[in-house]
Amino acid sequence: MSKSKKVPYLVDRPMSFCPGCGHGIAIRLVAECLEELGQADNIVFPIGVGCSSLLGGGIEADRLHCSHGRAGAVATAIKRCNPNNVVISYQGDGDAYSIGIGETTSAAYRNERFTTIIINNTNYGMTGGQMSNTTLPNQKTNTSVYGRDCSVTGNPIRFPELAADQFNVGYAARGSVHDVPNIRKTKSYIKKAIEMQLSGEGYSVVEVLSPCPTNWKMEPLEAMKHIAEHVTTYFPLGEFVEKEEK
């Protein structure tokens, strides 16, 4: 009896994320795409710091744990030295957008030939739920206890739109994992991003909206509904740029 839907062998081990966390789904989607494209043995993951670091313990592939926010720079080096490897930097929003905004933006600006997967849960999850660059207006976190005041802290950053509008990137999209149809759509985005890297067209970025039940202080189902009702209103889903493949 063959398996029609099996967990990819890359991630077929227990993950150490909180119950209801979206990281597990996103990592499985990446592994599924790599298996389908025949690149499962040709992958290197530069991993950011934060909850995304737990990918290191949950995946059976080459990976490198980078300094905080610098996965974009490390991925650039790996891809330039080993152009035949598929390089996917796996980062959180605090890592890629707050501390590593310089590296992430520079990689997009130079149109480096690697893929970035950014898990956006609108806070710094690993350190206990502090405000990040993507925290929604009026969202309460440990460091914005009265709600985020955008007149003082600035507005949440929308990176895929920025990359699509300002830089000559290959692919930019935003997906979500809050329900089954969106998970399937997000998988197609991730697959296109990896295909864009394989064709050598340029930088590809996929932001994945993910729940953080622990730090949002919600039940897992409530957190999924929160994404559908509130987070997607500020972070619209869809593809923002898709270059023609060579």
Contacting positions for another protein (CB under 8 A): 1-7, 11-12, 14-15, 17-25, 28, 179-180, 183-184, 213, 219-221, 224
Q: State how far the Cα of 43 lies from the Cα of 238, in Å rounded to an integer.
A: 26
Residue number with CB closer to another protein (29 or 78): 29
Closest CA to 49 of 104, 110, 11, 93: 93
Residue number with CB closer to another protein (51 or 87): 51
Residue number with CB closer to another protein (60 or 149): 60
Cβ–Cβ < 8 Å for 26, 121: no
* Shortest distance, position 211 Cβ to another protein, whole Å: 9
Closest CA to 124 of 203, 216, 199: 216
* Shortest distance, position 246 Cβ to another protein, whole Å: 32
* Shortest distance, position 189 Cβ to another protein, whole Å: 15
Cβ–Cβ < 8 Å for 56, 33: no
Residue number with CB closer to another protein (58 or 129): 58
* Shortest distance, position 179 Cβ to another protein, whole Å: 7
* Shortest distance, position 183 Cβ to another protein, whole Å: 5
Closest CA to 176 of 207, 220, 153, 154: 207
Residue number with CB closer to another protein (66 or 224): 224
Cβ–Cβ < 8 Å for 104, 96: yes
Pairing relation of β-strands 86-92 and 62-65? unpaired
Residue number with CB closer to another protein (149 or 219): 219
Cβ–Cβ < 8 Å for 107, 98: no
* Shortest distance, position 14 Cβ to another protein, whole Å: 5
- Dihedral in degrees, nearest 10, Cα atoms 44, 50, 54, 60: 0
